[in-house]
Structure 1
Amino acid sequence: MQTFHVSATGHSLNYLPEYIAVRQGFFAEEGLAVTASVPSPWDLVLSDIGSGSAAAALGGIWVPSMFFGRGKRYTPFAQVAARAPLAIVGREKPEDFDWQAMPGKVVAMKGSNGASVGLFTKLLMREHGIDPLAVGFVQDLDGKMLSDLFVGGMADYLVIDYPSAMTLAAAGGGHVVAPLPVTGGNVPWSVYYAEGESDEARLEAQTRFARALGRGMDWILAREAGEYRDFLAKTFPKFAPDLLVQLTNVYRANGMWTTPRIDPDAYARWQQGIADGHLTKAPIAYDDLIDARPTAAFAGE
C-alpha cells in the first residue's frame, strides 16, 4: 500500500468525495493509503509538498496560477469541487436582492485564508456589469469575527461559506440572498496540485488517486444524502446534521461534484477572474498550467 498524504487548506463539505473515497475503500482498492491534514497557517501546504511530506496540496487554483513563471512550479492535476461553496448573506429578503443595487454598498468577506472569496465575488460583480471599485469591501478580518460584526450591523452584505451562511440565516442573522453553489456557475474551485512536473511513478499514483476520487463522486451522486447522514454528522460536527444533508443534496443537484477533470471552459472563466484580481498578468493557457494526464480517462465524459 502506497502512502498518499494530502495537505489541505481546510476541512470542508465540498471536499466530501475525498472523504467518501477513503471511507468506501476506493483509494485502498487503488493501492493508496490516503491521509489528510490541515496545517496552520494554511500556506504550509506549500512546504509540505515541497519537502515531500505530502503528495498533494488541496486548495485554490489561484495559488499555482499566481506562482506560474515566478520561480515556483505548482502543477494542478485533479479537481474535487467545481463550484464555489459560498453564499452572500444580506439584510433584505432573497426575492428583493438585486446585483445592480450593490454599487455604494459595503460587502464583508474573509481574507485571512486566501484570495478565492474576494476574487470570485468581484468576478461575479463584473459579470453582472458592476465595477468592484464602486463597492466597499471589508476583507482583512476572519470569518467568525466578520459574521459577528455583520449581525451587529457592519456592512450590507456578508460573503461566507454556504454552511455557515445557512446556519447564520437560521439563527436570524440575515438572509441568504445568493447561494453561489446554485447561482454562481462553474469554476475549478478546489484542486489537487503538486510541486514541479511528474515523473512516471508520481503520474501513476496521481492517476490512481483521480480514478478513486471519481468513484467517490459517482457514489455521492447516486445516493440521496440522507442515506449517509451519520457519516456527514461525524465528519462535520460543527454543523447540524439536517443542514448537512440539505446542503449535500444542493451540491449534488447543482454540479459541485462532476469529475476529477478540470473543465477547460470553467478554468478559462476562473483564469480571467484571477487575472482581473492582479494575481497574474494575464490568464494562463490550460495546457501551460494543468497536467491533464492523471484525469485523461474522464475527458470524454
Structure 2
Amino acid sequence: MRRRWTTLLLVVTLVATAALAGCGGKSEKTTLKVGEVTRSLFYAPQYVALEKGFFADEGLNIELTTTAGGDKTMTALLSGVIDVALVGSETSIYVYQQGAEDPVINFAQLTQTDGTFLVARQPEPTFDWQSLKGKTFLGQRKGGMPQMAGEFTLKKFGIDPQKDLELIQNVDFANISAAYASGTGDFVQLFEPTASIFEKEGRGKVVASFGAESGHLPYTVYMAKQSFTNKNKAALQSFTNAIHRAQLWVAENSAETIADVVLPYFENVDRGILISSIDRYKQQGSFAADPIIDQEEWNNLLDVMTSAGELKARTEHDAIVNTAFAEAAIEAVK
C-alpha cells in the first residue's frame, strides 16, 4: 500500500511539474532587437504596436534602437547587432547586388510613400517647382531613398538636380535639420515632426510633399537576413501580425488619438505638432494599409533608383521580397 501511494505521489508531482512548465513556457517572450533608421512620426504604427501591447500579445519583447541613417542601420543588421531593420528597401538591393551570400529579405512594409516635405525659408502661397532653379537645395544622403525620391520628383517637373540647382548632399542625415537652421540652403528636404517644428519656430514653411509626388513604393520596410528569417519564422510571423494590427488601428483612429498613444516616443514635441504631422501622413496615404510589398510598388522603387543612377541591374521582386508573412498576417488579423 505504501509503495502504491509513493507511486501515485510521484505521478501527481510529475503532472504538476509539467503543467507549471507549460505555463512558464507561455509566459516567456521572444526578444527581437529592432533598429529604426530614424525616429519619426512617419513610423507611427510601429510605436502604436509597442504602446498598445500588440507585440506583447504576440509573445514578443521588442528592443528598439534608433540607428540614424540607412548605411548605419544596414551595418548593424549585417553584423548581428540588430535582428530586424526598419529602413528603405534600397539598402537590401545594394547588399544583394554586392553578391551577399546571406542576402537581406524584405518581409513587411510600414510606409508606402516618401516621408519628406520640401521646406522653404519663406511662405510661397503660389509655389511652383520651377522656383528651385538656381537655388541651393539641402538634400539627403546620395543613394538613400529620400534623396532618390527627391531627385525623381524634381525630374518629374523638368528640373535637373545636378545642373539646375546647387545640390548639397554631404551633410550627415542626423545633422541636416541643424544645418538648415544655421542658414545652409534655400530649400531643404525634411521628415516630420521636424518640418512642422520648423514651421512653428518660423524657420521655414512646408511648400510641397515629395511623398505625394513620387508615388507608392516600399519606402520603409522591415527586413532581416535570410539566415535569420529561415531560423525565426514563428517570431517574424508574430512580429508581422502585430504590425498589421497597428496598421488597422492607425487607419481607424484620428490623428489626435494616435498622437496621444505615440507621445512617449516624442516627449519633447508639442502635442499639436504631433497631431498635424500625423494628419499630413494620413492625408497623403503614407502609412501602408497592410504589410505586403507588392510588385507594382517594387517596380516603382526600381524606376526611382534607375533614375538616380544607383541601380546596376533591376533586382527581381522575388529575389529579396518574402510576402508570406504579410499574407498570413492579413488572414490572421481581422
CA distance in 2, matches of 1:56, 1:129: 38
Residues 14-23 or 175-184, more deviating: 175-184
Q: Does the Cα contact within 8 Å between 2:69 and 2:173 map onto a contact in 1? A: no
Q: Does the Cα contact within 8 Å between 1:94 and 1:178 map onto a contact in 2? A: no
**Counterparts of 1:68-107 in structure 2 under 5 Å?**
68-72=96-100, 73-107=103-137
| Closer, same or farther: CA 279–156 of 1 in aligned 2, 3 Å | same
Residues 181-190 or 256-265, more deviating: 181-190
- Determine whether 1:233 maps to 2:263: yes
Q: Does the Cα contact within 8 Å between 1:105 and 1:136 map onto a contact in 2? A: yes
In structure 2, the partner of 1:216 is 246
- Determine whether 1:36 maps to 2:64: yes
Among candidates 179, 198, 201, match of residue 171 of structure 1: 201
The TM-score with structure 2 as length reference comes to 0.80
CA distance in 1, matches of 2:263, 2:57: 25
Among candidates 298, 305, 314, match of residue 274 of structure 1: 305
Residues 216-225 or 191-200, more deviating: 191-200
CA distance in 2, matches of 1:28, 1:146: 35
Q: Does the Cα contact within 8 Å between 2:196 and 2:276 map onto a contact in 1? A: no
Q: Residues 55-82 of structure 1: CA distance to partner in whole angstroms, max 9, x if unpaired?
A: 2111111111112131321111111111
CA distance in 2, matches of 1:174, 1:199: 43
CA distance in 2, matches of 1:212, 1:60: 20
In structure 2, the partner of 1:254 is 284
How much does 1:53 deviate? 4.5
Q: Does the Cα contact within 8 Å between 2:240 and 2:329 map onto a contact in 1? A: no
CA distance in 1, matches of 2:279, 2:46: 17
Q: How many residues align?
A: 300
Unpaired runs of 5+ residues, structure 2, are 1-28
SS in 1 for 2:203: coil
In structure 2, the partner of 1:122 is 151
CA distance in 1, matches of 2:61, 2:95: 29
SS in 2 for 1:63: helix
In structure 2, the partner of 1:12 is 40
SS in 2 for 1:84: coil
Residues 174-183 or 28-37, more deviating: 174-183
Residues 143-152 or 209-218, more deviating: 143-152
CA distance in 1, matches of 2:258, 2:230: 37
SS in 2 for 1:125: helix
| Closer, same or farther: CA 107–88 of 1 in aligned 2, 3 Å | same
CA distance in 2, matches of 1:19, 1:133: 37
Residues 276-285 or 117-126, more deviating: 276-285
Q: Residues 107-144 of structure 1: CA distance to partner in whole angstroms, max 9, x if unpaired?
A: 112439x7222111101112223322222201112467
| Closer, same or farther: CA 228–81 of 1 in aligned 2, 3 Å | closer
Among candidates 25, 38, 58, match of residue 53 of structure 2: 25
The TM-score with structure 1 as length reference comes to 0.88
Which of the two has greater helix per residue? 2
SS in 1 for 2:98: coil
Larger gyration radius, structure 1 or structure 2: 2
CA distance in 2, matches of 1:279, 1:108: 20
CA distance in 2, matches of 1:207, 1:51: 23
Q: Does the Cα contact within 8 Å between 2:38 and 2:68 map onto a contact in 1? A: no
In structure 2, the partner of 1:265 is 296
How much does 1:46 deviate? 3.5
Report the residue type matching 1:57 in the other structure. Answer: A
Q: Does the Cα contact within 8 Å between 1:162 and 1:179 map onto a contact in 2? A: no
